[in-house]
Structure 1
Amino acid sequence: MRAISLCLLGCVGMTFAATPPKSTPPVAQVWIDLATYSGSMMPAGMGSVGGLLGGMFGASKGANSFGNTQGALAGRWMDVTLSTRKNPSLQGGVQKVPQGSQLAPQLSLFSPQEGKPVPLTESEEETPAPEFQRPKGKVLLYWGCGSEVRKGQPRVLDMATADMADFARVFQSRRATTRGTHSSPGRPIWPNKSDSRMIPDGASLQGEHELSGDGVPEGFKFNLDAQHDLMPAIDLKQRDEGLAVVFNWQTMPQARAWFMASMSMKNQDEMVFWTSSELPDAGFGLLDYQPNAAIDRWLKEKVLLPAQSTECKAPKEALGQGMLRLIAYGDELNLAYPPRPKDPKAVWNPQWAAKIRLKSMATSMVGMLGMEQAPGERPPQDKPKSPDAVDLLKGIFGL
């Protein structure tokens, strides 16, 4: 009997000893979004359709508030979110920044005071896709750089008869955007009401950054190099070439790829979409941060323009007078300590992780890029007034 008991104990011990250790998510995580916006007709909230709609209904203009990386006035912006599993109710934190930021020695991070802390999940990568209102009338979709409308274009969607399959054909939109900065109780952010400083002209974020706070592991520090600094503004120009419009810009060392999209109202009941993609894509999901792997995949598919691109033509038929946006995707930086093992089966228990996302966007109205009016000159009276961006988006989304 005793022998049987010993055997059972030994077997149990062997079972526990054979249980493999389990990898765990980072103890602490910081998200940093960097964005540069440019454009002569740049109202608040132009970075995304969601941001624009927010701007139409009272979003702050000119203030350095959290969320400006998702659509703001022309300038350079940074958002920061910090979290730690050791303190889900973290109220504050500190981010030490390099002297070149002109914000040194540190940024003060504070958590929103209202609401309950959001529990940390196994994966902090998921982010909901943007929602769009069902448009009215007809939608015409064009795509591809070139002077002429290509065979099989445009794709036309008639709202009066469209079913889900018709919507999918016209509103196909690639998207791989992962979790970035966000505002949630228990996760301190910058900027905030206590520290709402603007990023000064000529500031650089190159150098060492260090995060600290109650429950944040010691030694949470990393360096940003020139490739992951704030991106320069895009100088987007255009010229008339008869049946087409030529858009051009300067190369940018930090750009991994480019994408351009326009939307305009042809009349009260028709709106027109055009994108620079070689494959049909309405562009809703691509005008935002995208991870490196997705960018590389879409470059091969010619959905995105190569990093060395400086020009794209579009048929006038596909443009009209409307809003046009050009995005330069920066290189997303993902850091962790200790680093992830090369062996995917190896146990990994990181103390901290950092995600830095970069983009630069130019926004303006088609037909008005690079055109300056002489002082005192009045617009011709026989030409209709071009719709501004707010009126345009209200018409497109039936607001």
Structure 2
Amino acid sequence: MSVETAALTGLEIPPRAGTPAPPAPQGGKRMRLELGSSRVPNGVPRATHAIPPELMLGERLPLVPPARDRTAAAPEVVPGEPEAARPRGRVLIYWGCGETVRPGQPVIVDFSKLDAKAAARAYRTAKVLRPAGPAPGRHRAYGMWPNQESQQRLPEAASLRGMHFVSGNYTPDIQFSIEERHDFLRPVEFLPVTRSESGMHLLNWKAVSNAIGYFAAAMARGENAGETIVWTSSELQEAGSALLDYLPPVEVERLIKEKIVLPPQVNSCMVPAGVFKGLAAVLNFIAYGDDLDLMHPPRPRDPKALWEPQWSLKVRRKSTATTLLGEQATPNTQ
């Protein structure tokens, strides 16, 4: 189970000239259910997830294999042209909370001048270990929700609390309970973003209950064609692309020690003056939640005892927010 609480604050991204407006992003609560099994189903794979009334989506949700796209065609390859053209343009990478840009920044990655390996070294992002979850190619049988048969939006007041029961023709019965501690995380709430005369943006947010760490990353199109500006809240050089998603708690703890992720007691960060220079930047923020991990039967205390778990369960959680930085921020006249 992967659950998210998403918040959008003043996010109205203008379209590029000559292009239609992009679809409005949606906030709220999101949930993805995935079931994988090594068992061969008896007939057509069928499974359901019976849910508590607090989830407000009915009595049960169908877990359906992904539909096969039989109409997809292989991309056309023009003779004499490389299958993957080298990306063009430059990326300017900044990092760290503070009033001013630190010495040695930005690191500039010019894709037109670097080969793939050199660009990967320059466009540095933390390596994180994520457990391999259910996937169609990884398991003999696989079902998911939402799917082509059922894809309701979760109500704002939806809760995971209560008894859950998963059953089907390729899985053992899985019964478990989720308590308040592992319910949806609270939404991220920013206080009004303020901007100093020098151009520094001050971010303040309310503590998210049960969050175990925070991370922020912002991006803007540069003043020059083909130029992108990236900033992250990490104390070390970090592009951030791998960190704006679910992370195992042990990885969050490690990244806090390495000063890449902000600890849960921190509730503010300054985007240095001189990074975006008045350009409208999209800021993405994530609060990581701890996981609920269950196995049946539970692991015995005696490490030498025979243990053959019938099923395992993981509930991973995050709370995200997206907002804009730019001239619309409230000037700080103090």
Given candidates 266, 277, 283, the residue that maps to 2:222 is: 266
Given candidates 284, 287, 291, the residue that maps to 2:244 is: 287
Q: Is 2:234 the partner of 1:277?
A: yes
Given candidates 123, 132, 137, the residue that maps to 1:171 is: 123
In the TM superposition, what whole-angstrom CA distance separates every residue of 1:269-305 from its partner, at most 9, and x where no partner exists?
3211110001111001001111111111001111000
Cα separation, partners in 2 of 1:100 and 1:316, compared to 1, 3 Å: same
- In structure 2, give the amino acid aligned to 1:196: Q
Give the Cα separation in 2 of the matches to 1:187 and 1:329. 27
The answer for unaligned runs of 5 or more in structure 1 is 1-31, 45-55, 63-71, 116-131, 372-399
SS of equivalent to 2:186: coil
**Residue 84 of structure 1: aligned partner:** 37
Q: CA deviation at 1:178?
A: 3.4
Give the Cα separation in 1 of the matches to 2:167 and 2:329. 45
Cα separation, partners in 2 of 1:344 and 1:324, compared to 1, 3 Å: farther
**Residue 136 of structure 1: aligned partner:** 88
Give the Cα separation in 1 of the matches to 2:269 and 2:159. 30
Cα separation, partners in 2 of 1:262 and 1:346, compared to 1, 3 Å: farther
Identity %: 34
Deviation above 3 Å: which 4+ runs of structure 1? 40-44, 132-135, 163-166, 177-186, 341-347, 368-371
Alignment of 1:1-399 (within 5 A): 32-40=1-9, 73-88=26-41, 91-114=45-68, 135-164=87-116, 166-174=118-126, 175-180=128-133, 182=135, 186-218=141-173, 220-236=174-190, 237-243=192-198, 244-267=200-223, 268-319=225-276, 320-342=279-301, 346-367=305-326
State which structure, 1 or 2, has the greater radius of gyration over its C-alpha atoms: 1
Give the Cα separation in 1 of the matches to 2:237 and 2:157. 39
CA RMSD of aligned residues (A): 3.1
The answer to which structure has the higher strand fraction is 2
- In structure 1, give the amino acid aligned to 2:29: R
- In structure 1, give the amino acid aligned to 2:45: Q
Contact 1:230–1:358 under 8 Å retained in 2:
yes
Contact 2:32–2:144 under 8 Å retained in 1:
yes
- In structure 2, give the amino acid aligned to 1:179: A
Q: CA deviation at 1:370?
A: 6.6
Cα separation, partners in 2 of 1:331 and 1:94, compared to 1, 3 Å: same
The answer for unaligned runs of 5 or more in structure 2 is 14-18, 70-83
Contact 1:238–1:369 under 8 Å retained in 2:
no
SS of equivalent to 2:247: coil
- In structure 2, give the amino acid aligned to 1:199: L
- In structure 2, give the amino acid aligned to 1:293: V
Give the Cα separation in 1 of the matches to 2:56 and 2:26. 21
How does the TM-score come out when normalised to structure 1? 0.68
Contact 1:157–1:166 under 8 Å retained in 2:
no
Q: CA deviation at 1:135?
A: 4.2
